[in-house]
Structure 1
Amino acid sequence: MKDFTVFVSSSDNYSDIWDLFFDLFHKYWPEYKGPIYLQTQEKEYTHPDLNIICTKVGKMKYFGQTFRAGLDKIPNENVLLIMIDYIFMGKVNHDLLIKLYDFFIKENLDSLCLRKQPFKNFAPSKNPLLIIGLPPSHKIMFGYQIAFWKKEMLHEMAPPHENPWMSEWYGSERAEKMNLHIECLANDKDAPIIYDMRGCLHQGKWLDNAIRFIKQTNYNIDFSKRGEYIDSQGYRSLQYRFRIKWTIWKTGLMGSYWDLMFKRKKIHQ
């Protein structure tokens, strides 16, 4: 079996939640003994119970540049991608996780998402726990949920000029055009890693679900430093709606439209 490496996508701006993330990581997944590559710009971080390697890629203008530079630091061909705000919320089913990874390798998949995805088109998998994502899938073929990835394919999903949301927006069509082999869980009750798919932060502020969970664990965090996210002031605000439309258009002109029109070709028949 080819080994995988855990890649935690973060930035120095999130260093205040690294202790929380990795304390919960170790608490709920003590079986994992391998390296964890933590995406950082300049900061160094260690944890007494984990083998953390900071990428220290330097300050770059865009997420895509930073993300690719971090992936380039990883020697393994396969990664388990985890975004920094997907804190673990329960015991990891280690045995199931390894069985799913074995299937990922055996079937030569490009990605295996460890949560159910709302694919519009799908087919049964050889594994009864999974389904195969089929295009067209209308903006949901790709996302940054916790998943096993071939590193080279994940690299392709983040062009240098894109931010995470634009990588998902344009990435779904990229995945369709490339005909990536993507499978995901058929039912979230079988998820080997328990986490909230919304994450714990929106626009840098704490989500109510994360606040409730962290308080239940008696973990000591000063939530006032980041503040609590409020929908009416965030993604549902009129200002944000205008801004996201402008970002989609601008990102397209910076290269995402041309990338889809001229670069992306099928890699599988």
Structure 2
Amino acid sequence: MISDGSLSGWGANHRYSVLVNSSDGYEDCWRPFFHLLKKYWPMLEVPIYLNTEHKNWKATNYPNLICTQVEKENRGQGRLTWSECLMLALEQIKTPLVLYFQEDYFIHQNVRHVLIEQASDYMVRNPEVSHIALTRHCSYGPYEAHSEPWLQTIGQNARYRISTQAALWRVDVLKSYLNSLENGWMFEVYGTWRANKRKDVFLSAKWDQMTGGPAIDYLHTGIIKGKWLSAIRPVFASNGIEVDFNRRGFYVPKNAYLHKLEVAQKLLKNPRHLLNQIFK
């Protein structure tokens, strides 16, 4: 299923790969995403996977980009869920760790390459560590002190202990938290419940200015419910990126109470799965 057989085995000498989790309907994000990735992380030289359904997209600034094309062999069997697509993409990765992105994490300042290398090395040397968050948009905490001053522990009962924000994951652990019935936001909610009951070590690289700021920074996030975040316009303009914003339009924030009600209604659409996650 890998788009270029000549890449087979590529990445054997790396600790981690980059996975940009996406779907074909977000193709308009790919060009600006990889433009900004190259500009703000020029030292990135690891295998890069773009999780697509059918498309085999090419990036001129990343000639070795691998499109997963996870729906390629699934014709006539119904569309795969978000979690099924992610699972199939993870099965293609040959490194023990994966740095997870989504296609609308538009980086707008220099990535702290040395810190990411330090984090990946730390995970390799400490196999009990399952996850290191690399952005200020990760768990809401609470956090606990860690023996390494540049790290903090994500508490056992932290809100969004499981997050889809930029982070290093041990590939086998990320797979173990996936449930084929779930989309991305369900994975964060139900995955956090599962993580509250498991003793996996979840860490975060500190992102305060005293420690140099986040390893990876971007607006949270470029697209919300299929619409552009209005704050992305100056980011694109300052980086010479032209996008037809009319195609998606701009997201209008909802009242916080209405948002919570909407989430609750979505969870109740599958009460059996909800109960299974509560009592599992």
Out of 172, 178, 201, the position equivalent to 1:181 is: 201
Provide the residue aligned with 1:249 in structure 2: 268
Q: 1:34-77, CA deviations, whole angstroms, 9 ceiling, x for partnerless residues?
A: 21111000001111221210110106341111111111111222
Q: Does 1:258 align with 2:260?
A: no
- 2:109 & 2:274 partners in 1: Cα distance? 38
Contact 2:14/2:46 (<8 A) preserved = no
How many angstroms does 1:237 deviate by? Answer: 8.3
Identity %: 26
> Are 2:21 and 1:9 equivalent residues in the alignment?
yes
Aligned to 1:132, which of 144, 153, 166?
A: 153
1:67-216 aligned within 5 A: 67-108=86-127, 109-116=129-136, 117-120=139-142, 122-137=143-158, 139-189=159-209, 190-196=213-219, 198-216=220-238
Cα drift, residue 174 of structure 1: 0.8
Q: Cα offset for 1:152?
A: 1.2
Flag the 1:157–1:252 CA change in 2: closer, same or farther, 3 A: farther
Distance 1:160 1:11 in 2: 16
Residue in structure 2 matched with residue 52 of structure 1 by the alignment: 65
Q: Identify if the C-alpha distance between structure 1 residues 62 and 237 changes in structure 2 by more than 3 Å, giving closer, same or farther.
A: farther
| Aligned counterpart, 2:83 | 64
Regions of 4+ moved over 6 Å: none
Deviation string 1:82-128 (CA, Å, 9 cap, x unpaired) is: 111111111112112211221222222100001243212x3211221
Q: Residue 19 in 1 paired to residue 39 in 2?
A: no
C-alpha spacing 1:37/1:256, structure 2 compared with 1 (3 Å): farther
Aligned to 1:267: none
Q: What is the CA-CA distance between 1:260 and the residue it aligns to?
A: 5.5
Where 1:229 maps in the other structure, the secondary structure is coil
Question: Conserved in 1, the CA contact under 8 Å of 2:144 and 2:155?
Answer: yes
Query: Deviation string for 1:170-212 (max 9, x for gaps)?
Result: 111111212121000233433121212x210001111022122
Q: Deviations for 1:118-174, whole angstroms, at most 9, x for unmatched residues?
A: 212x3211221111122122x321111100001111112221110111110111111
Normalising to structure 2: TM-score of the pair?
Answer: 0.84
Distance 2:114 2:99 in 1: 15
Displacement after TM superposition at 1:247 (Å): 1.7
> Is 145-154 or 242-251 further displaced after alignment?
242-251
Mapped partners of 1:243, 1:126: distance in 2: 40
In 2, Cα distance between equivalents of 1:204 and 1:165 = 14
> 1:33 — aligned with what?
45
Deviation at 1:30, TM superposition (A): 1.2
Query: Scaled by the length of structure 1, what TM-score is found?
Result: 0.87
Equivalence map 1:211-250=2 (5 Å) = 211-232=233-254, 236=256, 238=258, 242-250=261-269
Quote the Cα distance in structure 1 between the aligned partners of 2:172 and 2:274: 19
Deviation of 1:257 (Å): 3.5
Return the letter of the residue paired with 1:195: Y
* Residues matched between the structures, number: 255
Give structure 2 stretches of 5+ with no counterpart.
1-12
RMSD after superposition: 2.0
